[in-house]
Amino acid sequence: MNTSLPALVITGVSSGLGLATARAFLARGYRVFGSVRTPADATRLQTELGDNFGPLVFDVTDGPAIAQAAAEVTRQLDGEPLRGLINNAGIALGGPLLYQPIDAVRQHFEVNVVGLVQVTQAFLPLLGARPDFRGQPGRVINIGSVSGQVASPFMGAYVGTKFALEGLSATWRRELQLFRVPVVLIGLGVTKTPIWDKGMDLEPYRDTPYHGPAQRFATFVNRTREKGLTPEYVAGRLVRILETPRPRLRYSIAPDLVRSWLIPKLIPDRLFDWMLGKGIGLLPPKK
pLDDT of 106-119, one tens digit each?
999 999 999 999 99
Listed in sequence order, the residues at least 6 apart from 10 whose beta carbon sits closer than 8 Å to its beta carbon are: 18, 21, 22, 25, 32, 33, 34, 35, 85, 86, 88
Strand partners, 57: 36
Give the pTM.
0.94
Give mean pLDDT, residues 128-141.
96
Give the tens place of pLDDT for each residue, 10-20: 999 999 999 99
Listed in sequence order, the residues at least 6 apart from 118 whose beta carbon sits closer than 8 Å to its beta carbon are: 60, 61, 63, 66
Can you give the pLDDT at residue 42? Answer: 98
Q: Is the pLDDT of residue 196 over 70?
A: no
DSSP summary character for residue 260: I
What percentage of the chain exceeds 90 in pLDDT?
80
Domain ranges of the chain: 7-280
The residue annotated as part of the active site, out of 30, 99, 158, 233, is: 158
Can you give the pLDDT at residue 261? Answer: 67
Q: Is the pLDDT of residue 195 over 70?
A: no
CA 135, CA 119: separation in Å to the nearest integer?
22
Listed in sequence order, the residues at least 6 apart from 270 whose beta carbon sits closer than 8 Å to its beta carbon are: none
CA 213, CA 282: separation in Å to the nearest integer?
6
Give mean pLDDT, residues 85-95.
95
Give the tens place of pLDDT for each residue, 218-273: 888 888 777 889 999 999 999 999 999 999 999 999 887 777 767 888 889 999 99
* Residues 28 and 2: beta-carbon distance below 8 Å: no
Residue 8 phi, psi (nearest 5) = -150, 165
The region, left, alpha or beta by phi > 0 then psi within -120 to 50, assigned to residue 135 is left
Q: Residues of 106-117 as b/e, b for ≥16 C-beta within 10 angstroms? A: eebebbbbbbbe
Average pLDDT over the chain, rounded to an integer? 93
CA 113, CA 143: separation in Å to the nearest integer?
11
CA 132, CA 262: separation in Å to the nearest integer?
43
Q: Establish whether 158 is a catalytic residue.
A: yes
Can you give the pLDDT at residue 285? Answer: 84
* Residues 242 and 82: beta-carbon distance below 8 Å: no
CATH class of 7-280: alpha beta
Give the tens place of pLDDT for each residue, 251-261: 999 887 777 76
